Chain A
Amino acid sequence: MVFVSVVFAIYYLPWVRPFQVQTLVIASLFFYGFGQPQLLILLALAVLGTYFILIMAMKRRVVWLPVGIAFNIALLAFFKYKFLFIDPQAPSYSDIGAIDFLLKLPLPIGISFFVFHNISLLIDMTKRAGPTPSLGDVFLYIIFFPQLVSGPITRAENFLPQIAPKMPDDVPFVDAAKWIVTGYFFKLFVANNLNTLTTNMDYPLYQNLKISDRWLCLFLYSYQIYADFFGYSAIAIGLGLLFGYRLPINFNLPYISRSFSEFWTRWHISLSTWLRTYLYIPLGGNRHGHLRTYLNLMIVMGLGGLWHGAGISYLAWGLLHGLFLVIERPLLPAIERLAAVPFLGRAVTTARVLVVFFCVSFAWVFFKLPSFEHALDYLSGMVIDQVPPMPAHIYRSLALVYTLPVLIQHFVSAGWLVAPRLKLEPYLYGAMAAVMLVEAGPDTVFIYFQF
């Protein structure tokens, strides 16, 4: 927060106003390069390369747009998947210094996100008539620090029009504070504390879990990953507001989804929107019959899984979600009719929400245990009772305390006690801020930083 405070103070100085974009770009470069300065060159190359291609594509889209997309996909593929082909522990890979340097570079933080921003920029800007955005604006769009590392993935056509001089009087301080406090609360109090329980899912610790605890931990991890990612996105939105930019909402109560297609309109909304806009629809979407639609869904979700990481587990996660969508699709009309039946409606809706939550949680195992073998081993232990030699103790009361905020957020109606809530709002946020400080769980990195 020291960094944000300093940048904020400088950003709104009257003499800095003509250079606000440049100020944010420099701050973002500093933010990204702090700790891993060697990756700044990569980031700069990615942005400059994309910008050069953008200029060319504005003149000849047919030729240069595919080049730009290929350039960015190659960048992503190289860094994300190179360790599938080379040994990460090897002291040297090549006699050629530059190649050896590149092969040794760690996975750049946020590469999955800024590559998607680059592609969105190329496609959105070249499909409309108009001037090429300036290099400064493009840099800001791609590396704006609140969203650089883990999104939300913002579409260029939504972000670039917001670039304009910003005044401190226009900053929605209360809204920004609410987003930031909420984000930190979910990250520090909910996610970090739940992590102390779900750490029992890691290998080899999960071998000490009884069957009931394996199930419990599975659901706790669902809440943890939501709280962690929602927390980050909320902080990003709040920080964006401080600097005059509205970033897209990334989560909308995903665990009340009544179908898998609905789930993907509520979970990581910016990613699912990106995949739909730039992959699913260009593949044909649902315009070419059922079989082609199913194929498109499997391709998109499979690639969505691989976007998260290089491994069979991530692919399995993506394909599982594809399978859920494919299986559900022909059944949805009948389910909707059943839900409309007067006496059955509520029961059907509840069952739908539970089924979706259960299946989504099941799939999260492949996220928690990136080794496919360990993931399968964990899942098998959820149905085959094994007597662990030293059973771990998972306190149900603690699990309830840390999942309550997620449950309250999801299941307490937005229209319930509106007037009293508005009156009590500042006090509630003050209390949340205090609680997150005293009851913060042990520090853990945001889960989505690894992508």
Chain B
Amino acid sequence: MNGRPAIIWFLKAATVCAFVLAICWIAPHLIADIPDFPPITTEEEQFDITQRYFKLPVAKVALTGSSFTRRLHEEFFQNISVRNFSLPGGSPLTGAAVIEAADSIRPRFVAIETNMLARGIDQAMVDKFRMAGQGADPPPPMLKPFRAMAAAYQREDNRLKRVDTEDQDAMRGERTREEALLRRPPAPRNDAKFITAMLAEWNKPNDDAVIVKNAFQLKRLVDELEAKGVTVLLYELPIDPTLQRSRPMVRGRSALADAFGPDNRRWLSLEYPAEEIRWDDGAHLDDRSAIIVARSLERAISQKIQDEDCGACAVR
């Protein structure tokens, strides 16, 4: 087929192509909440989490961390409004740096996880959302029609789909679920051979220099946040006792001690029944343990908030 019939063929194909592309571009501007699956790549997931953080109202407390903190879902916090801005596969420093860079989404308190210091700031993410903090929202992605249809069909819970903490009925249901989970006994402990293998994996890379650098960078970030009126708190999540002795954990603690010195005021002391805590893989808390640790973190943060409020009252 050549000549005129070919031109007509191409015109028809191009028209349909352009039409479908136009629909896919327009649809997200007209339809809110197009169904989608949880992001698949780490970058997509981090982008989604950050975008969500910018879209929702600013909470009193923001948690920044890695996939360890990701387990502490917002609905586990009963008494204070918390936004979980931890980035799986990312660094606690990135979340803190995004908050520092964007005026519009700065909470009163930022609690930073210190378990993962081997990863540094993702500057590209910070720069991307620096503008978003000034009102320049990134455009919505184009509609993916087949993916949206599959997501609409999918009946299982999106694992990023959080309980709407403004919805009282949903929260009551969530409380009931949490209490039921807490009434169950702790899960069996992880297989010792598995943990030993994990310890070997964790000890393999020599990230000492990176960890030290990131600890001092964290100190600088903390200083910058505090200069802008944010109260910064630090916490370490529990992990399997064997992994506590791993190289990155030991190095991280000593690097933080060097960076922050003897000043303990920022550190949150988490109190929980250690014998009840379990992990899916020695490092990531299982659901039941995440509820326990989240509540302990909430108590510690609440105490800090109270102390600060009392300090302010005393000044007045």
Contacts and interface: CB of A to CB of B under 8 A. Distances in A.
Q: Do A and B truly interact? A: yes
A242 to B, nearest CB: 13
Contacts of B150: 395, 397-398, 400-401
Top 5 A-B pairs, shortest CB-CB distance: A430-B16, A434-B20, A430-B13, A426-B12, A397-B150
Interface string A413-451: 000000000000111011101110111001000000000
A445 to B, nearest CB: 16
Given A177-B10, A430-B20, A434-B18, 11 more contacts: A171-B2, A174-B2, A174-B6, A389-B281, A395-B154, A401-B149, A427-B16, A434-B17, A434-B20, A438-B24, A442-B41
A437 B150 CA distance: 18
Given A401-B149, A434-B20, A427 B143 contact: no
Interface in B6-45: 6, 8-10, 12-21, 24, 37-38, 40-41
A169 interface: yes
Contacts of B190: 389
B52 interface: no
Q: Is the interface of A mostly helix, strand, loop or mixed?
A: helix
11 contacts: A172-B2, A174-B6, A196-B41, A390-B284, A398-B150, A401-B146, A426-B9, A426-B10, A434-B21, A435-B146, A437-B21
B9 A389 contact: no
Interface of B: 1-2, 6, 8-10, 12-21, 24, 37-38, 40-41, 142-147, 149-151, 153-154, 156, 159, 190, 194, 280-281, 284
B13 A433 contact: yes
Nearest to B12: A426
B145 A430 contact: no
B280 A439 contact: no
Contacts of B12: 426-427, 430
A411 interface: no
Interface string A104-142: 000000000000000000000000000000000000000
Contact of B21 (A398, A427, A438): A438
A50 to B, nearest CB: 37
Contact of A438 (B142, B149, B159, B280): B142
Contacts of B145: 435, 438-439
Contacts of A169: 2
Interface in A126-169: 169
Given A434-B21, A434-B24, A395 B14 contact: no
Interface of A: 169-175, 177, 196, 389-390, 393, 395, 397-398, 400-401, 425-427, 429-431, 433-435, 437-439, 442
A173 B10 contact: yes
A430 B21 CA distance: 10
A364 B53 CA distance: 42
B281 A390 contact: yes
Nearest to B23: A434
Contacts of A401: 146-147, 149-150
B247 to A, nearest CB: 19
Given A389-B280, A434-B24, A438-B145, A429 B13 contact: yes
A389 B194 CA distance: 10
A433 B273 CA distance: 58
B17 A397 contact: no
A417 B52 CA distance: 47
A431 B10 contact: no
A439 B146 contact: yes
B301 to A, nearest CB: 27
Nearest to B142: A438
Nearest to B14: A430
A438 B9 contact: no
Contact of A174 (B1, B143, B151): B1
A438 B143 contact: yes
A431 B17 contact: yes
A434 B2 CA distance: 24
Contacts of A196: 40-41
A440 to B, nearest CB: 9
B145 to A, nearest CB: 7
Interface centre among B16, B21, B144 (most CB of A within 10 A): B16
A317 to B, nearest CB: 28
A393 B280 contact: no
Nearest to A173: B6
Contacts of A439: 144-147
A439 B23 CA distance: 13
A430 B281 contact: no
B46 to A, nearest CB: 14
Contacts of B143: 438
